[in-house]
């Protein structure tokens, strides 16, 4: 735990505070105010990301600090799901925003780094950006999976999908992005190292997360109606695998003797 006494740090804390206020307000059934606060938090998050971009002079998606900063801009995902998928969960999204910004604000090192040769490629931004977008979408799906298991759902007057179907729809939005991220990664691997697949731990975890969702689709197709709760377990397992993929470089320090790559 370390507090960042910098403008960057301040911006992150301001975003967290706005999201938290938005969350509390919407729990108090002041949806309109909550929404405005959420939007306000999003504006700071965008500014904070832009500030970082200006500061390091390359797209800030190089290390965990920067990608978590990026994940903090979750608002458009909420909006999209509400508008086009009939999937709600705004207050949960505010909380997801807080959860992803917390490590950026208090844990990860924000020291700017220069791009090593392997990262200087046009594939760097699309590969990471697509992954981050899919991760945040899958996080939202996980929330709906958990609500299904908890027996919670939208009220009938809200015109929203029940949680099981909501989970499926969100995963259908996130999965193509996850696939694209994997393919761009292997294409990049081919360009940079000569191998489209190197079997290194980070790659294998990303394959594992992808396979969990492939398993989810086939399981749901076969038994989805009969065992709807198990569908949700698949979705939650997918998120667990994603978290491990994202944090593996840090987690692998817990397993002595493992080498790892960023």
Partner 1 sequence: MNLEAKYFSIIIYSKHGNYKYQLQIALNKKQAERASVNILANNIYLAIITRVEFIDGHKGNLMNKFRRAVMWVGLALIILLLFVSVYGAFIGAERAQSFINRLPLMVYWIAFLLLLIVALSVFRRLVRVPGLLLIHLGCVFILAGSMWASEAGHKLQKKLFGIDKITKGQMEIHEGHSDNRVLDDNMQIKELPFSVELKDFQIEYYKPAYLYVQTRDGQGWKIPVEIGSEFPLGPEFGTVKILRTFENFKVTIEDGNRKIIDDPQPGLNPALEVQITSPQGQVTTKYVFERFGGHTRPEDKLALSYRRVISDYISQLRIIKDERIVAEKDIEVNHPLSFGGYRFYQHSYDAEAGQYTVLMVVSDTGVGVVFAGCWMLCIGVFWHMWLRHIVGFDVGSSFVHITARIKTKNK
Residues that bind partner 1 (CB under 8 A): 114-118, 120-121, 159, 165, 172-173, 175-176, 179-180, 183, 186-188, 190-202, 204-205, 207-208, 211-212, 214-215, 218-219, 221-226, 248, 255, 258-259
Task: From residue 57, give the alpha-carbon distance in Å to each of 43, 50, 67, 92, 188.
Answer: 21, 10, 15, 33, 22
Q: Which residues are CB-contacts of 226 (< 8 A; sequence separation ≥ 6)?
A: none
- Smallest gap from Cβ 123 to ligand HEM, in A, equals 21
Task: Specify burial of residue 77 (Cβ count, 10 A radius: 0-12, 13-18, 19+).
Answer: buried
Bin 86: left if φ > 0, else alpha if -120 < ψ < 50, else beta: left
Does residue 207 touch ligand HEM according to CB under 6 A? no
- Smallest gap from Cβ 132 to partner 1, in A, equals 18
- Smallest gap from Cβ 219 to ligand HEM, in A, equals 10
Q: Contact at 8 Å (CB) between 50 and 128?
A: no
- Tell me whether residue 45 or residue 164 sits nearer to partner 1 (CB atom): 164
What span, in angstroms and rounded, lies between the C-alpha atoms of 200 and 14?
Answer: 38
Stretch that binds ligand HEM, among 71-79, 94-102, 214-222, 236-244 (CB under 6 A): 214-222
Does residue 55 touch ligand HEM according to CB under 6 A? no
- Tell me whether residue 14 or residue 119 sits nearer to partner 1 (CB atom): 119
Stretch that binds ligand HEM, among 36-44, 51-59, 184-192, 217-225 (CB under 6 A): 217-225
Q: Contact at 8 Å (CB) between 147 and 211?
A: no
- Smallest gap from Cβ 219 to partner 1, in A, equals 6
Tokens standing for 3?
């507090």
Binding site for ligand HEM (CB under 6 A): 214, 217-218, 221
């Amino acid at each position: 735990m370390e507090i960042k006494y910098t403008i960057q740090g301040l911006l992150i804390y301001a975003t967290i505070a706005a999201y938290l206020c938005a969350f509390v307000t919407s729990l108090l059934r002041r949806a309109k105010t909550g929404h405005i606060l959420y939007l306000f938090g999003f504006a700071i998050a965008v500014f904070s990301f832009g500030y970082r971009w200006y500061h390091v002079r390359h797209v800030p998606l190089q290390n965990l600090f920067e990608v978590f900063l990026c994940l903090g801009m979750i608002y458009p995902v909420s909006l999209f799901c509400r508008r086009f998928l009939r999937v709600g969960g705004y207050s949960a999204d505010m909380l997801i925003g807080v959860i992803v910004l917390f490590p950026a604000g208090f844990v990860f090192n924000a020291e700017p780094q220069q791009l090593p040769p392997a990262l200087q490629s046009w594939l760097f931004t699309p590969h990471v950006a697509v992954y981050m977008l899919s991760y945040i979408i899958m996080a939202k799906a996980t929330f709906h999976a958990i609500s299904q298991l908890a027996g919670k759902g939208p009220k009938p007057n809200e015109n929203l999908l029940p949680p099981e179907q909501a989970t499926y729809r969100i995963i259908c939005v996130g999965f193509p992005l996850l696939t694209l991220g994997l393919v761009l990664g292997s294409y990049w691997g081919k360009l940079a190292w000569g191998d489209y697949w190197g079997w290194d731990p980070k790659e294998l975890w990303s394959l594992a997360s992808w396979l969990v969702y492939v398993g989810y689709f086939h399981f749901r197709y076969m038994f989805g109606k009969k065992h709807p709760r198990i569908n949700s377990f698949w979705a939650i397992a997918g998120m667990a695998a994603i978290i491990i993929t994202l944090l593996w470089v840090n987690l692998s320090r817990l397993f002595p003797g493992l080498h790892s790559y960023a």
